[in-house]
Amino acid sequence: MKPMTRFLTALFALLLPMAAMAQQQGLEIDIVGGHASALPIAVVPMPYQGSAAAPDTDVAAIIRANLDRSGQFRTLPERDIVERPTRGAEVQYPTWRMLRQDFLVVGRVLDAAGGGYRLEYELFDVAKQERMLGMAMTARASAMRDVAHQMSDAIYEAILGVRGAFWTRIAYVTQTGAGENARYALIVADSDGHNPQTVVRSNEPLLSPSWSPDGNRLAYVSFEQGNSAIYIQDISSGARELVSSFRGINASPAFSPDGNRLALTLSRSGNPEIYVMDLGSKALTRLTNHFGIDTSPAWSPDGNTVYFTSDRGGRPQVYQVPASGGGESRVTFQGSYNSDPSVSFDGQKIAVAQGAGNVYRIAVLDRSLGTPRWSTLSPGSLDESPSFAPNASMILYAAREGRRGVLYAVSSDGRVRQRLVLADGDVREPAWGPFREAR
């Protein structure tokens, strides 16, 4: 075989099993740019050692998928895991050094007293031959995926010093059918796309889900009344409140970081402007006053600044304004079109949909150093609606593939991009929810 053909065959043989595995899990992994500095880690399968029925959740596989998706790790494929220790005493470090792994995770599943399972797991630094973590968690069978996500978060934080965001949820909108037969749904799922729950169903468009900071409610836009209107709905109970149905546009709701206010777009004055509504009194404070289109408000983490999109300069760019009112100033100066700001938890980065000609891509503006730096994270050509994970390690966004809307998760350094296969039909308008546990 010619060298090129041999290379391609080897590459193909390498990728095929990965693709097959990923398809079974409902995810497609698209590695962009390679893993040059990703940390090699082996997560050994965790066997069931109880006497009742084994769980049908493969916890180690979920942890591997999470760590790979973050872009920070490169996990050892299960077929290359030649030894299967389940606890520290069984670990032989030379094996893992030979396999060039920096970190090792082992564990096992036992029966918990009173039903359910008990997961014991440990994290080791291979070079130092030291245990970094030793934990036990109990869970019912139905919560095993949640436990795997929490374990992933603990491992991520122990190694990187950054809180993990695997145990989080995402919201998104789906459309099936078209025209008169279009059906819309607002869905909440785990951050890897599993366990989708329908929050709202409608025959009319739904847009702009926004999470309350405690993760219990969603604000969203619905056209069910024949015009855009904003609702706030409790996710568990389904109870909802109509909070804005003025004449004109009612759009782009955004909960403040303290959960007491809602930024929104209203065109009741004649053109779209940014307002802040006090959720207790429903009193409105107007933040912008310009004949251009001002929309898509996003809060700074301290709740003092609202970023928004405005075309007052000709085409959409991102501006900022004090949340209590004051002068607006422009934030984005690169690119002819910048919209849909999403702000990182530390306030240092703003992700936008950036347009150049007919190509729209996700870009991030980093203002943590003196001069603002831009990086482009997605290939386009119709990428939109970026949403930061609560630890800013990844960004969720909407893309089009052929006639279909799909969601991608991209690591914030742009190294790894993964398509989420979520539902039939069209998927759009993603919103990454908060950490599921306050600290």
Partner 1 sequence: MKTTKRVLLAAALCLLVVGCARQVQEEAPPPEPTAPPTTTQPAPTTGVFGPEDLDTDACLRQRVVYFDFDQDSLRPEFQAQMACHAKYMRDRPSSRITLEGHADERGSRDYNLGLGERRGNAVSSALQANGGSGSQLTVVSYGEERPQCTDSNEDCWARNRRVEIIYTAR
CA distance 71 to 37: 9
- Residue 337 in the binding site for partner 1 (CB under 8 A): yes
> Smallest distance, Å, CB 245 to partner 1?
12
- Residue 174 in the binding site for partner 1 (CB under 8 A): no
- Residue 2 in the binding site for partner 1 (CB under 8 A): no
> Smallest distance, Å, CB 227 to partner 1?
5
Piece of 16-24, 32-40, 154-162, 310-318 that binds partner 1 (CB under 8 A): 310-318
Taking CB under 8 A as the criterion, the residue among 194, 312, 400, 419 binding partner 1 is 400
Choice between 332 and 339, CB closer to partner 1: 339
> Smallest distance, Å, CB 173 to partner 1?
10
Taking CB under 8 A as the criterion, the residue among 152, 212, 233, 309 binding partner 1 is 309
- Residue 43 in the binding site for partner 1 (CB under 8 A): no
HSE (CB half, 13 Å, CA atoms) of 1? 8
- Residue 387 in the binding site for partner 1 (CB under 8 A): no
- Residue 208 in the binding site for partner 1 (CB under 8 A): yes
- Residue 353 in the binding site for partner 1 (CB under 8 A): yes
Choice between 68 and 273, CB closer to partner 1: 273
The amino acid that residue 269 corresponds to is S
Q: Which two tokens stand for residue 353?
A: 């949909």
Choice between 158 and 182, CB closer to partner 1: 182
Piece of 20-28, 49-57, 116-124, 201-209 that binds partner 1 (CB under 8 A): 201-209
HEC sequence for the chain:
CCHHHHHHHHHHHHHHHHHHHHHHHCEEEEECCCCCCCEEEEECCCCECCCCCCCCCCHHHHHHHHHHHHCCEEECCHHHCCCCCCCHHHCCHHHHHHCCCCEEEEEEEEECCCCCEEEEEEEEECCCCEEEEEEEEEECHHHHHHHHHHHHHHHHHHHHCCCCCCCCEEEEEEEECCHHHCEEEEEEEECCCCCCEEEEEECCCEEEEEECCCCCEEEEEECCCCCCEEEEEECCCCCEEEEECCCCCEEEEEECCCCCEEEEEECCCCCCEEEEEECCCCCEEECCCCCCCEEEEEECCCCCEEEEEECCCCCCEEEEEECCCCCCEECCCCCCEEEEEEECCCCCEEEEEEEECCEEEEEEEECCCCCCEEEECCCCCECEEEEECCCCCEEEEEEEECCEEEEEEEECCCCEEEEECCCCCEEEEEEECCCCCCC
Is the Cα dihedral 356, 379, 182, 216 positive or negative? negative
- Residue 383 in the binding site for partner 1 (CB under 8 A): no
Choice between 101 and 228, CB closer to partner 1: 228
> How many residues interact with partner 1 (rule CB under 8 A)?
39
> Smallest distance, Å, CB 247 to partner 1?
8
- Residue 425 in the binding site for partner 1 (CB under 8 A): no
- Residue 265 in the binding site for partner 1 (CB under 8 A): yes
Taking CB under 8 A as the criterion, the residue among 382, 413, 421, 436 binding partner 1 is 382
> Smallest distance, Å, CB 298 to partner 1?
11
Tokens 């004949």 locate to 291
CA distance 439 to 424: 37
Inter-residue contact 305 to 323 (CB < 8 Å): yes
- Residue 248 in the binding site for partner 1 (CB under 8 A): yes
- Residue 296 in the binding site for partner 1 (CB under 8 A): yes
Taking CB under 8 A as the criterion, the residue among 45, 50, 196, 205 binding partner 1 is 205
- Residue 181 in the binding site for partner 1 (CB under 8 A): no
- Residue 210 in the binding site for partner 1 (CB under 8 A): no
Taking CB under 8 A as the criterion, the residue among 89, 403, 438, 439 binding partner 1 is 403
Q: Which of the residues 9 through 28 are near partner 1 (CB under 8 A)?
A: none
> Smallest distance, Å, CB 256 to partner 1?
18
224-243 footprint of partner 1 as x/- string (CB under 8 A): --xxx---------------
CA distance 210 to 253: 6
Q: Which residues lie near partner 1 (CB under 8 A)?
A: 178, 182, 205, 207-208, 223, 226-228, 248-249, 251-252, 265, 267, 271-272, 293, 295-296, 309, 311, 315-316, 337, 339-340, 353, 355, 358, 360, 381-382, 384-385, 400, 403, 428-429
